[in-house]
């Protein structure tokens, strides 16, 4: 009886060790593993130290709200979309590629965006296309855009400030606007588009330049009647000169 118990115990221990060895070596095989097809909801690309560098995800598992990446909070107000997010060596989000598209009751909406962020800030370069249809009206725009961002911008600080302004705005909109302007003066909020190359919703194809407040300053484009135009604007967005002159 004792010999049988010793044998059973020895067998159990040997089996457990064998299973542990198999399970660990199975996931530590050298060389690349090859698969014909994989179905997956999300993939996290990480460094050896665990820092997430890129996320490939479906809509449902898109990080937002209470999710944290690299021990940093994610944008709670951002809409969930399928695509990719990029992170730098410090674990800070630095851009992404997202897309969507669906039919509605009276048309459809779709979009695609590839962005590159300022360090610890928002996007300074964006490749964007948008397509909206409402009944018989369809609006399509696409372009490459370059933006200015605040010099002291921080993703965590921006999130904190926006929550503060949202709370204050519900009680006192005027005070919230003044506080927003103060943060802009401090270089913590703001930003503006400066250059856009592409097609506008009004079907003008060309180069569009803006001042540091985001107001149009100059446009060189071909309109939907295939006429080439060059327009210049004042600080209020009014055309002050055009070529040809009769293009106003």
Secondary structure (DSSP) of the chain: -HHHHHHHHHHHHHHHHHHHHHHHHHT--SS----S----SEEEEE-TT--EEEEEE-STT---TT-EETTEE--TTSPP-EEEEEE-TTS-EEEEEEEEEEEETTEEEEEEEEEEEPTTS-EEEEEEEEEEEETTEEEEEEEEEEEE--TT--HHHHHHHHHHHHHHHHH-HHHHHHHHHHHHHTTSS--EEEEEEEE-TT--EEEEEE-TTS-EEEEEEE-TTS-EEEEEE-TTS-EEEEESGGG-
pLDDT in tens, 191-225: 999 999 999 988 999 999 999 999 999 999 999 99
> What pLDDT does 144 receive?
98
* d(C-alpha 89, C-alpha 53), whole Å: 7
Is pLDDT larger for residue 24 or for residue 47?
A: 47
- What are the pLDDT digits (tens) for 128-159? 999 999 999 999 999 999 999 999 999 999 98
* 212 vs 147: CA distance, rounded Å: 9
Is the pLDDT reported for residue 94 higher than 70? yes
Q: What percent of the chain has pLDDT over 90?
A: 77
More confident residue, 22 or 99: 99
Mean pLDDT of the chain: 89
Measured CA distances, 141 to 67, 150, 158, 204, 216 (Å):
32, 26, 29, 9, 17
pTM for this prediction:
0.80
Q: Average pLDDT for residues 31-35, to the nearest whole number?
A: 84
Give the confidence band of 246 by pLDDT, cuts at 50, 70, 90.
Answer: low
Q: What is the pLDDT of residues 51-74, one digit of tens each?
A: 999 999 999 999 988 889 999 988
Beta carbons within 8 Å of 32's beta carbon, 6+ residues apart: none
- Assign 28 a pLDDT band (cuts: 50, 70, 90): low
Confidence class for position 6, pLDDT limits 50, 70, 90: low
pLDDT of residue 245: 79
> 43-47, 71-75, 79-83, 84-88: which range is least confident on average?
71-75
Q: Locate the domains of the chain by residue range.
A: 36-149, 150-190, 191-248
| Lookup result for tokens 């090859």 | 34
82 forms beta bridges with 99
């Amino acid at each position: 009886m004792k010999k049988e118990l010793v044998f059973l115990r020895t067998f159990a221990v040997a089996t457990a060790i064998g299973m542990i060895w198999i399970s660990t070596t199975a996931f530590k095989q050298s060389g690349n593993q090859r698969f014909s097809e994989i179905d997956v909801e999300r993939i996290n690309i990480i460094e050896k130290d665990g820092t997430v560098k890129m996320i490939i995800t479906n809509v449902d598992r898109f990080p937002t709200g209470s999710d944290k990446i690299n021990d940093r909070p994610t944008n709670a107000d951002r809409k969930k979309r399928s695509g990719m997010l990029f992170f730098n060596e410090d674990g800070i989000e630095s851009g992404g590629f997202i897309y969507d598209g669906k039919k509605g009751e009276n048309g459809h909406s779709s979009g695609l965006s590839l962005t590159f962020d300022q360090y610890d800030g928002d996007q300074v370069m964006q490749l964007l296309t948008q397509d909206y249809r409402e009944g018989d009206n369809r609006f399509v725009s696409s372009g490459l855009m370059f933006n200015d961002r605040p010099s002291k911008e921080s993703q965590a600080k921006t999130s904190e400030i926006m929550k503060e302004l949202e709370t204050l705005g519900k009680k006192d909109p005027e005070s919230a606007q003044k506080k927003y302007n103060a943060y802009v003066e401090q270089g913590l909020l703001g930003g503006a588009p400066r250059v856009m190359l592409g097609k506008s919703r009004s079907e003008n194809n060309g180069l569009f330049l803006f001042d540091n407040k985001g107001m149009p300053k100059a446009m060189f484009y071909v309109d939907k009647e295939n006429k080439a135009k060059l327009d210049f604007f004042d600080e209020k967005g009014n055309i002050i000169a055009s070529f040809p002159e009769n293009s106003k």
